[in-house]
A and B are shown apart, each in its own frame.
Chain A
Amino acid sequence: MSPVLSVEGLSKAFGGLMALTDVDFEVQEGEIFGLIGPNGAGKTTLFNMLTGLSKPTTGTIHLLGQDLSGKSPAAIARLGMARTFQNIRLFGAMSVLDNVRVPRHALDKASLWGGVFGTSRSRRREREALDLAHELVEMVGLGARMHAPAASLPYGDRRRLEIARALALSPKVLLLDEPAAGMNQAEKQDLSNFIRVIRDRFGLTVLLIEHNVPMVMGLCRSVAVLNFGQLIAKGAPEDVQADPAVIEAYLGVADARGADDEVAIGGGVNNA
């Protein structure tokens, strides 16, 4: 079986600083794939390259066998790669419902004159977009607030709205950037269940950045660990958890090795 998403030899340099170095991994269909690592390890940089927001220095990304090199973020999104943002980026002044309608209109390539004159094709698509938006907004539990501006929602609701908006793209791959940030234990459990439910219902492959190790271990079938831009381990959660390199990255070791100093300074700059 060919992977849904495959990343080969991916590197990203910001000037002389290597934010990512030669990263390889594959994500299989239907998987919930966890990406973990300390702050500044390059997780979000990796997401930005997967979604075309930033161009890789070297390396390739394939989505469903298609090379994404040189494609715009919008084209990549329409091919089926949807994401949420670590620092939530909703369309603040637009209503909850309108936020979720936008990706659908983008997929439809909404016609200006069709919309203004209300052609039957345009009206049908508007209705479909609205029905889908209703369904998704209800599913994430925001049915009662669907006409409120997105910016007026409390933090947790905004996170859920962002997921609903990403789902409106009918994606093959959903990238979640720290979806559990700021949640308590019970909410994290709910979120884990929710991610499984949407994976099954929409036939998704999920790629998840998360700091909370127990959550990742419970949810993901495969995990990759980034540290200072390098993939230091990948595999089943239990194996990764036992990997000495991972333990070192998270807890540090007593005798800091001189050879790592240069890399450590680079990572520090990346953090800041």
Chain B
Amino acid sequence: MEDFLARYGFLFVTILQQALLGLSLYLPLMAGQLSLASIGFYSLGGYVAAIMGTHPALAPLRDALGFYVYPLEWLVALAASTILGAALGYPALRLRGIYLALATIAFVQVFGVVVLNMPIAGGAIGIFGIPQPFENRLAYVWFFGPLLVLTLLFLWRLERSGTGRLFFSIREDELAAGAMGVNVTARKVQAFVLGCALAGVVGAMSAPLLNTWNARQGTFDAAVACLAYVLIGGRRSKWGALLGAALLVSLPELLRPLQNSRMILNGVVLVLACIYMPQGIAGLFARRKA
């Protein structure tokens, strides 16, 4: 058992972390908005935590707070992501469908270039030697686990509330939602900002886990990986992001015995899933229920 945990502990923590990023895409999707901005906010949150954890000027603060510096990092990342998310959301959400996706990818790229050129973010090398609260990587379950539970509880409540129904009405028919009095722009921004805020906190939790943070944390590839969780898992259900992340993060490990051909099979699984499960894995369960 110990051996198993030592080998797969990091994998398990990664699944939780990636599932949270998948959920940060699901939030705007509740209101029908396909945004790939999450990874940029993940990067932002990571930089906030990395700077707060390593900047010499903040040493007295760290000494005074001890372990509580971590929750403070999350809160600062949350605030920064919320503000930047709202500032980005209002102009970006005038765009629809694929254009919004493209604009948010552009944001991720621009953000990457900006931090690369900010001295405080450490340039191309980034920030390293970020203090770690735990000695063992599996222990980060105490960061990501409660956040995942809280996020799922939040979504469970949201989906059953008036705001959740307003989000869904926009996803179903934006024009009809407007004609029924729904303030479409404000609600889309709301859903978008929630996703940004979540991604920011996940980033702040991830910086200590990875020990270093640099511009490679917020790349286009990573954005597409998050999109894949939602597509494979199911974009119309909160469980989709969870299932998708679990499958896609563990698939390369499960296929390890195949050695070099495993990445081919990995790709085949993704393509087949897109063709035969347009509603994702969660969609299969939903159909059975109906």
Shortest Cβ distance from B41 into chain A, in angstroms? 19
Question: B175 and A165: CB pair below 8 A?
Answer: no
Bound-state CA distance A9–B236 (Å) is 46
Shortest Cβ distance from B236 into chain A, in angstroms? 7
Question: A169 and B176: CB pair below 8 A?
Answer: no
Q: Which B residue sits closest to A171, measured CB to CB?
A: B181
The verdict on B163 contacting chain A, using a C-beta distance below 8 Å, is: yes
Interface residues of chain B: helix, strand, loop or mixed (majority): helix
Bound-state CA distance A158–B11 (Å) is 48
Bound-state CA distance A51–B181 (Å) is 10
Bound-state CA distance A103–B163 (Å) is 11
Q: Which A residue sits closest to B290, measured CB to CB?
A: A149
**Given A165-B180, A169-B181, A126 and B162 touching (CB < 8 A)?**
yes
Bound-state CA distance A28–B182 (Å) is 27
Question: A115 and B163: CB pair below 8 A?
Answer: yes
Binding stretch for chain B, among A106-114, A189-197, A210-218: A106-114
The verdict on A181 contacting chain B, using a C-beta distance below 8 Å, is: no
Binding stretch for chain B, among A85-93, A223-231, A232-240: A85-93
The verdict on B72 contacting chain A, using a C-beta distance below 8 Å, is: no
The verdict on B128 contacting chain A, using a C-beta distance below 8 Å, is: no
Shortest Cβ distance from A148 into chain B, in angstroms? 10
- Interface size band for A: 35 or more
Q: A101: which B residues are within 8 A, CB to CB? A: 162, 165
Question: B162 and A93: CB pair below 8 A?
Answer: no
Binding stretch for chain B, among A15-23, A73-81, A263-271: A73-81
Question: B163 and A102: CB pair below 8 A?
Answer: no
Question: B182 and A115: CB pair below 8 A?
Answer: no
Q: A169: which B residues are within 8 A, CB to CB? A: 180-181
Q: B24: which A residues are within 8 A, CB to CB? A: none
The verdict on B157 contacting chain A, using a C-beta distance below 8 Å, is: yes
Chain A residues with CB under 8 Å of chain B are 51, 53, 72-74, 77-78, 82-83, 85, 89-94, 98, 101-112, 115-118, 122, 125-126, 129, 149, 165-166, 168-169
Q: Could you list 8 examples of A-B contacts with CB < 8 Å?
A: A74-B178, A74-B180, A74-B182, A90-B173, A102-B180, A112-B163, A116-B154, A116-B157
